[in-house]
Structures are given as C-alpha cells and as structure tokens.
Chains A and B, each alone.
Chain A
C-alpha cells in the first residue's frame, strides 16, 4: 500500500477552481497553506488554524469545509473551490459578492471569503433557504466587526436576486 514518508515532499494532485494542480509538499502541510503558499490563492484566509473561526472555509466536493483541517496528504483527488472562483471575470462581482457590497456585509474583510464560500454553497444547495437556515450556516463563521446583521441582510438579498434568475 502507498506510504508517504514523514520527511520527504510528495506529489499531491487535486482540482482547484476547475484546474488540475499538482503540488510537491510535506504530508503535514495544511490545505489552507497549500492554497496560499504553493498555489498563490491568497483569498482563503488563515485565522485560528484549529477549525473554530471559519476564515479558511472553502468548498470541497461542493460542501463548505475548513481548509485548515485538511492535510495536504488528504487532498489527493479532491475538487476544491475557493473565493477566487466566485467572480466570473475580474471586476465583475457575483450576485452574492455584490450583495455584500450593497449591504455593508463586511468591514475589515478578514472573515468574508470564508463566509462567502459558506453562503455560496448554501444558496446552491437550498435556493429557498430561510433566514433561520442562513443564520445556522453562518454560526460556523466568526465575524468580529459587523455584528452579523448586515451579513444576514446581504445573504437574504442575494438569495432573492438568485431566485429571480440573477447570476
């Protein structure tokens, strides 16, 4: 059976935002660091590094997950989506991102990419998500600036726009 020894770097191949990437890293490198330092996708932020704050939330195989709780060695074959994938083109925000801008859903912005990835997955899976469901999903992302109310307003506005067929 394949054994990846502790002291060498090993090739790990996965998809990020639709592109197959291969990195050569130690087993113990966290996916959050792989994305930032090996691939240069610095939109994924690193907060607590033990799964509490949600700043590093990305989508793995379609579901929101903590990038700091995934080891590089586990990432083989994963399909990963980061905040960089949300805007279809540079300078044009997604519906969800625009709603955050319109409703002051961020202040310092540190938590925002994680929150966007949580809500993007939620609204894809549950286009009619209630405010309660949205608040429940947001409980996994800490924000110390906004008090959450503008974030909830932004999420509800994005939900309504997407339901009307916006993109």
Chain B
C-alpha cells in the first residue's frame, strides 16, 4: 500500500510531523514503512507552457522547432525531439535555468544550428514513474490538460508530497485504505480523523425503476448495494485525481473507473461500475457460476468459470467475477451513458479461492480476501456517487437498491484491567488504558466495580476479536519500549540434552577433532540420485514433492551419500581434491504407495574420504585415504558408543560400490542381527561418472545406535598378574577373512585369551598364488594368578590346531 502524505492530510492533520517522523511513528506502532519517497526529485523552474507552433527542423528529420508560450508574454523557441509534440498542446517546459532530477541544468543551447531556449519535458525527465501512463506519453513528452500558463509544474503534478510504502502484516488489512491509515495515525498522534465529504442526492428519478438486486448466495455476500447514475460524460479525470492515483500506483483510465479506484483507496471498499445499458433487464443477481459458463474479464482473458465461483450476473449472463474483476461485456467505455455503481461485501475466502484458481489478483480481490469493513459499503457507494456526479456530470438517481443479508455490528469485548497488566507485566493506570482506546476510536466503559473495561470495537478493525487482541492494542500504543524487562519467576526446570542429542553432539565433536569437516546438504534431490545406493532398513520408497521447484530437487533424499559425492565433486572442481567430510542429517522414506501418513525420518551419519587424508609435508609423504581409514572412522564411532563388540563387517557388493572393497556393517543386539550401514570404495565406474578419484564412503543409521549405545562406563580393576604374549603366523587362502581367523582363535583359546590382534598381512610369490600370510599376536592372562608356560602352550596349541583344521592354515616357522 502506497500512501501519499498530501492525500493523507485530507483526513488527519499532519502539521508539524515530517514524513520521516511519520514513518518512524508508524513503524514503532506496528505498521512497517518500507520506504519514504519524495515525489519531487529536485524539479525547479519547470512551468506549464503552450505549444503555439511546430515547424520541422531545417537540418534534422526527427527534431521540431516549437514556439512555446509560458505566460511571460514572450514566446520561447524550443527544439524538441519527441514524436508526440504538437501545436495546441499544454506541456511542461523547463525554462533556461531550470533544474531537473539527476542534477541536470537547462541552458540556452543550439541544436543542429537552431537555438533552443529550454526543453519540453517527458514524465520521466520530471522524475515521475511513467509506467502508469499511456504508451505514447511514455515515449514522448507529457501532455497536460488546459492549464494556466506559467504555473509551476510541482503544483500542477502534486509533486510536493512524499509517498510512504506500507509493508502490511496480514492482520492489518484495515490499513489498506487512506482512511484506515488516518485512523492509525490519529491513534499514534492523538489527532482526530476527518471523514470525506458526501453529497445528498435528491433526484426525481428513482434507481429502483432501472435496477433490481437479488442475492442468491447469501452466505457468500452479506450485503450488496447499487446506485444508478444517468447521463455521465466519460472523459479523462482531472489532473489532481490522476496525480493521486498515480502516487498510489494505480493507472488512470477514465473519470468513472478512476473514481471507483479512488474511493477504493480512500475507504478500502472496492467498487465496480457497469455500463447500465449492457446489464440485461436491469437486474443484478449475485449467484454462483453455472457449469460451463465463461466470462471475458476486463484484462481481455476468456475465463472458464467453476460452480463454486461467485459471479454478478444480469438476467442472462455473468457480467463480473464478484470481487475479483469486471466483465468486458459490461465495461464502462467512452460510449457509456448510464452506469450501475456496485458496492458490496463478498466473502473473503471465496474471493481468495477464485482469484487463486484463475491466477487473477487485483486491488479489489486483495481487499475482499482480507474482509472489507461492512460498515463502509454504503458510505463508499455514496462517496463514489458524489464524485461521479461532480466529475462526470451524471445524475444520481434517488435511492440505493440493495439486499442486506447481515448488517454490520461492532463487537464488544470486556477485559479485566488486572488481566491487561498481568499479561504485559506493566502497571498501566485505568485512565491511560481508556485514553488509549479513545485514541484508537474505540468506545470504552469501565465496569461498575472498576475492575474491567468494556470496549466497543468498530467493524473496521476486523482483526480484533478477543481480549488478547485488545491487550496488544494497549501494548503497542503504550509502547513496547515501556514494558519492563523481568526474569521469569516460579519453579525452575533443569535444562539438558536428550540421549540422542548428546550422541549427535559427541559424534560431531569427535569426528571434527579427528580431522573431518561437517557438511550440510539439501534435503531435496533428484529421483535418480535416490537410487544410487542401497536402502537401509528395508523400505526406501522416496517421497516426491507435489510441486517441486525443479526436477533436480523434486524428491526427499533417502541417503546422505549421493549429495556427499556432489560435495566432493564441487570441491574437486575448486581445487580441493583432498576431502574428509561427514554429515549428520535426516533421510526420508515411506512404505506407502501414496503418502497418507507422515513418512519415516531417520538420522544418518555419512562419511566421505578422498584424496590425501594428511597432505604431504617437508617431513612426510601424503597419506592417501583408503578403505581402512573409512572403516576406522566407523570403528571409532562404535567404540565411542560402547558398541565395539556388537558390530561386524561382512564383505558385500551393493550397487555403485566396489564389489571387492565394500562391507555391510552389522549390528548384533538381543533383537538379532541387522544391517545398519555400509562402508566401501565407490565403484570405479561411479567414480568416473562423478569425476572423482578413489573415494571411500560410509553411511550408518543413527537411530538404532541411540538405543543400542552403552553410555555407562564401569571401571574394571587393573590386571594384577602378568600376561603371556605369543605370536602365530599362518598362510591361508587369500579369500579367508582375517576376522574369521581371530574369531576362531578366540573360540578355541577360551576366556584366558585376553586379546588377539592382526599385526601383519602379507602376500607374495613365495607363498604361491591365492595364498596369504596372516600374523596374529595373542595375549593370555589369568585374572587371579600367573599362568604357567605349560598352560599357555596348551591353549596356544589349541588355537593353532583350530586354524589348521578349519582354514587349512599352515603354520609359518
């Protein structure tokens, strides 16, 4: 909403307040002013002139030499290049010495050898926004109506004003009008509001003789009123009216349409004028559209109507989309003689739905959507009729033809004075509260016992419906700054992280301390990306957005990995080939074909390593990341969660991962074994597709870990008896997993084997093809005594025998 201060002061006294001060006051009061624009961009010395003569420039095709009278008694010779300049026009003339916006000074000049004593100006040269002008005026000079010669242009074009741009919150639709803004300014400044003038109509002609109104959809139109105006002269509006419309950002059209727009801006009540002779039978019917009906709206578009849309129809056909836009079939044109003027209250949500569905938003629909003030239907109608009678020489027929379904009624709210202060933490006196309501123009009365105030809220403030709304009014006029700052009293509460929050935080800390950087990717991705990696937890049907912004971001991610690859590619393209990153985030999937309930949301941890884990330095070579680095990250995570003993890794070959370098991560709990993630190298083909070097990834489900995690640390006494260390080196088939060997050794040696560790793995020609050597280090210990050599030897022999038996292992000597 744009409000010009010169217009606003018709309704409320602004003396002594600068536009900037006004803007600050309004912003502090809750209506944010986005901008304060002066209309006058520094124009001086520009006056109204009259083009007496136009002759072609002798040496330039596109230039004309004009003789211009600016009321000084001496004609000026001005060279003008505008295509629309012509003799007989009144035009703005920048005389010698004039100043134009942008620091342009007008001097006497010679144009192609012909002297020019000034310049005839276009709207843009005067600093006006010419987008609202007809095209020929945008491309040429501004042609004015007949005016007194020599008058300063600032006066003529109402440039001595500022335009405030209001950024209205949806609740303050009352300020979508000059009067509404005036009430707000009145409340903020304590000044009274002056209502516009209205004429009294007393014609012999009866409106009811020409017009009938019937509301067939009473629940969607609580009040419809119309007046009949006869014998209008459709013509351009006077300049003052055009100036005001343009300052508000509305395009002037003709005096009839302009008045309806003017009064809409003034009262916030949209109006519509029909060519009365195009309304068949003089009958106005407010009804729902019928199946298959169409209407060409004023913007020239053919609209197919749906049965839930409210229309204004005549005897035969729709003539307007109620509250949205008029129909071309009943448009006011230059030939129009008689008009029907409409003022009504249409249901906001119906207007909103219709305008949304048709993609047709207008100044009218914008206001109806937010519910107009029912008490202004008639005043706005009469105000517009007055102006049309004055400007269009029409005769306003006697009487309003209307159907009132529901009359406007102010609401009354009672609120306890203690309640106001208890809610705000203030001590505002009774009298001050009443003064505030008075300034707002609300009637108020203190109850007999003095404890409450009864407030009558005018219908223009439809946003106020209960006690807290009134408390807000008191608070904002009392000033939020004046509300004290207090600590909360009452019971205290302990603040803490939940277990899962604490785990995520701890993982982030540990991983970043270990050299991995955290990334955050978008939750939206492309359908193809969701199919890249194996599903965890069974179902993985992705969820598609109803209306995505692009196909690339049309589904919710089902894995964190695809976008981690994008992170890697992005960095690689920016010369960061060495990357160690992780993400903790949510993935989404559903078991349903079509979503009827909320989908599964799971927390995941994903890791990506590529390039060098540690860069080369003067004292060591770069350390390239490998599978065991990625696996090591997971092992550290599980160790931190107390789950080292419950997790195993099994060779696996899911799609897009290297079949020889990938493991499924299995968690073993009382509930059994489940796959909770993968760790592996990206498949060479995938690496190529993503334009990456060797890349190692891991992803695990965190939700299951929250439950499985053992966060209790229980101290074990330190060993009091010495351990016996023995090594075994065996050759086995290359395909035998080392973990199988260690597991077998543990099983065979029993409880007294404290630990077993792989300390060397070797393959080479000496061993023969398909064989490898694995060296294990075993530690034996008895908790209550020192073990004898014989005891250790006995256990150790069992371990060796097990390896020989189960894996055809050959002991290396």
Q: Do A and B bind each other?
A: no
Q: Name A residues whose Cβ lies closer than 8 Å to a Cβ of B.
A: none
